[in-house]
Amino acid sequence: MSDRTAAVSRETAETDIDLTLAVDGDGESEAETGIGFLDHMLASFAKHGLFDLTVRCDGDTHVDDHHTVEDVGIALGEAFAEALGDKRGIRRYADRRVPLDEAVVGVVVDVSGRPYFEFSGSFSQDEVGEMTSDMARHFAYSLAMNAGLTLHVEVESGVNAHHEVEALFKALARALDDATRLDGRRSDTPSTKGDL
């Protein structure tokens, strides 16, 4: 198995991010973003996707959570794109539904190289801790656009935004784990075009 890892640094006037990713990890993580709930979601994402992930972000959280959540999603997407390279041997597609108590979220992903994002559903409360609930949608969008994913997310049910957002991160992790897994029967890139 090739070393599917990446290190991304991203610095703007709004955020300063250092991120490392190992696609074939053990689910170990360390996240320091200045937003406690986002740190919790990143730890959950790493644990359930079996990705090793470190994220350090110094962002303008005195303004709000938008730039930090968005830019971490961008950096993580860039890291996936770098780590997967030509995507040779991956399964490419995955479909996962994850429950968390009353909440259910479904994620369908194609590691296609063609960024597209579709979202349906809503969150039951506007905020969870220091994070705006809708920023979970925007995080998934930012990840998809920068990793080159076709990504469909549906919040199917729920009455608690904590559960809905956490189910989203877990479903995203499980789907990405499935889609990026290497298929022992395949040595080429999974596309009739020969390129993703």
All residue ranges of the chain with pLDDT < 50 are: 1
Alpha-carbon gap, residue 153 to 109, rounded angstroms: 9
Alpha-carbon gap, residue 40 to 22, rounded angstroms: 18
3-state secondary structure 40-61: HHHHHHHHHHCCEEEEEEEECC
Alpha-carbon gap, residue 153 to 173, rounded angstroms: 12
For residue 68, the model assigns a pLDDT of 98
Alpha-carbon gap, residue 26 to 60, rounded angstroms: 31
List, for residues 97-139, the tens digit of each pLDDT value: 999 999 999 999 999 999 999 999 999 999 999 999 999 999 9
pTM over 0.95: yes
For residue 2, the model assigns a pLDDT of 65
Q: Are 37 and 131 in contact (CB under 8 A)?
A: yes
